[in-house]
């Protein structure tokens, strides 16, 4: 009689030890329809021979310890051996998940133990902001409408304006369920203050990134101010450029004119100008007369006489006279005579003659 309770105690301990040697992870998994669902079943009990995977109490895949994965009629399920594991471990993979796959997932070790986990499949729908890009005057009230349809479970809907989340109190939400799918609609009214992007975001818990639809809000007053600023800037720039160009053209014109004036004078003209100026000023100073600017020389190429005059300029002497009229500069062939005499005659009725003798 004492042996029977002892056997029951040993059997219960052995069963409990076997349970602690088997694990199924994760215990709960939520995915979006179409994604892969992966579960791992591991055990340190080497006595197992067959591992069976079940979806909703229906066997979909079997694994033999000796031969591996056995053929299956379901193309969406498979299993691979876990890498870097110190225990007997297999990873169950369910591809192209659907709402019908939602439920209990079980790993059964024949005649040893069974572990279960929960699989939740969510549906991703679409989201859209109705209407095209908006154009509004500053201060005008603008209405935006958004709808997220074809979701399961009910999606979370949010508005963003200029990359900032809008408070839940500023928009309304209405929900409709049809064929186990949810459609959420929302209206948002904002006062046009500046140009911005208005976006509507919808998401469920399994979705890594929310779906978004957006339109542009352009405030007319802001566009006009920017155009005025650009116009003023262009006008100022053009005026400064024109003024600078005018200054440069004036400077270039003056420099070119001076260069042309210098280029027209030959060395002989410069020498002749210096000689005539000195001769006229010298005679006028000595005689007290005036230089006749309207008289021109008959011969402008008499280089010899110029040289004689330059060489003997310091040795000239003048006879005394009573009155001398305006000086008339003359140069003719008599300059080459032996005496090198130059006569100055009166322009009016004066008969007095002044004679200049060059030594």
pLDDT, one tens digit per residue, over 276-302 is 554 445 444 545 555 555 544 444 444
Higher model confidence: residue 213 or residue 4?
Answer: 213
| Same domain membership, residue 201 and residue 108 | no
Neighbouring-strand partners of residue 184:
148, 175
| Same domain membership, residue 113 and residue 27 | yes
| Same domain membership, residue 50 and residue 117 | yes
Mean pLDDT is lowest, of 81-85, 182-186, 228-232, 309-313, for 309-313
In a domain, 191, yes or no: yes
| Same domain membership, residue 164 and residue 199 | yes
Cα distance from N-terminal residue to C-terminal residue, the chain: 177
Q: Among 67, 93, 122, which residue terminates a domain?
A: 122
Task: Burial-class residue 221 by CB neighbours within 10 Å (0-12, 13-18, 19+).
Answer: middle
Kindly report the average pLDDT of the chain as a whole number. 77
What pLDDT score does 45 carry?
Answer: 87
In a domain, 241, yes or no: no
Q: Is the pTM of this model over 0.75?
A: no
Per residue in 251-283, pLDDT (tens digit) is 999 888 888 887 765 555 555 555 555 444 544
Over residues 333-344, mean pLDDT:
39
| Same domain membership, residue 140 and residue 98 | no
| Same domain membership, residue 181 and residue 146 | yes
| Same domain membership, residue 195 and residue 165 | yes
Q: Among 122, 153, 179, which residue terminates a domain?
A: 122
| Same domain membership, residue 134 and residue 118 | no
Of the candidates 86, 89, 94, 93, the one whose C-alpha atom is nearest the C-alpha of residue 109 is 89
Q: Among 219, 245, 262, which residue terminates a domain?
A: 219
What pLDDT score does 321 carry?
Answer: 42
In a domain, 230, yes or no: no
| Same domain membership, residue 116 and residue 27 | yes
Say how far apart CA 38 and CA 33 lie, in whole Å. Answer: 14
| Same domain membership, residue 111 and residue 33 | yes
Count how many domains the chain has.
3
Question: Which CATH number does the domain housing residue 57 bear?
Answer: 2.60.40.10
Domain holding 292, by residue range, is 275-357
């Amino acid at each position: 009689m004492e042996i029977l309770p002892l056997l029951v105690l040993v059997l219960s301990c052995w069963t409990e030890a076997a349970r602690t040697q088997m694990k199924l992870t994760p215990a709960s998994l939520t995915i979006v329809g179409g994604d892969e669902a992966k579960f791992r079943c591991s055990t340190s009990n080497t006595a197992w021979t067959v591992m069976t995977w079940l979806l909703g109490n229906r066997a979909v895949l079997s694994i033999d310890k000796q031969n591996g994965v056995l053929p299956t009629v379901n193309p969406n399920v498979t299993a691979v051996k876990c890498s870097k594991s110190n225990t007997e471990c297999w990873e169950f993979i369910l591809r192209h998940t659907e709402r019908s796959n939602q439920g209990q997932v079980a790993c059964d070790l024949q005649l040893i133990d069974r572990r279960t986990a929960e699989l939740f499949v969510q549906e991703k729908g679409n989201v859209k902001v109705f209407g095209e890009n908006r154009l509004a005057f500053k201060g005008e009230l603008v209405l935006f409408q958004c709808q997220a349809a074809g979701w399961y479970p009910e999606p979370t809907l949010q508005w963003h304006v200029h990359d900032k989340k809008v408070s839940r109190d500023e928009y309304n939400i209405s929900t409709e369920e049809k064929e186990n799918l949810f459609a959420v609609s929302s209206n948002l009214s904002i006062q046009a203050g500046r140009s911005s992007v208005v976006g509507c975001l919808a998401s469920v818990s399994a979705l890594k990134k929310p779906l978004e639809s957006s339109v542009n809000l352009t405030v007319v007053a802001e566009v006009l101010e920017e155009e005025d600023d650009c116009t003023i800037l262009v006008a100022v720039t053009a005026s400064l450029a024109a003024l600078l160009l005018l200054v440069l053209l004036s400077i270039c014109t003056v420099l070119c004119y001076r260069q042309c004036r210098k280029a027209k004078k030959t060395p002989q003209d410069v020498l002749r100008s210096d000689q005539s100026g000195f001769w006229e000023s010298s005679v006028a100073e000595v005689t007290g007369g005036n230089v006749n600017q309207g008289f021109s020389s008959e011969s402008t190429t008499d280089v010899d006489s110029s040289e004689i005059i330059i060489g003997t300029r310091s040795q000239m002497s003048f006879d005394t006279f009573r009155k001398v009229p305006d000086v008339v500069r003359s140069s003719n062939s008599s300059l080459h005579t032996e005496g090198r005499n130059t006569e100055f005659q009166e322009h009016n009725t004066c008969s007095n003659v002044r004679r200049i003798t060059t030594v």
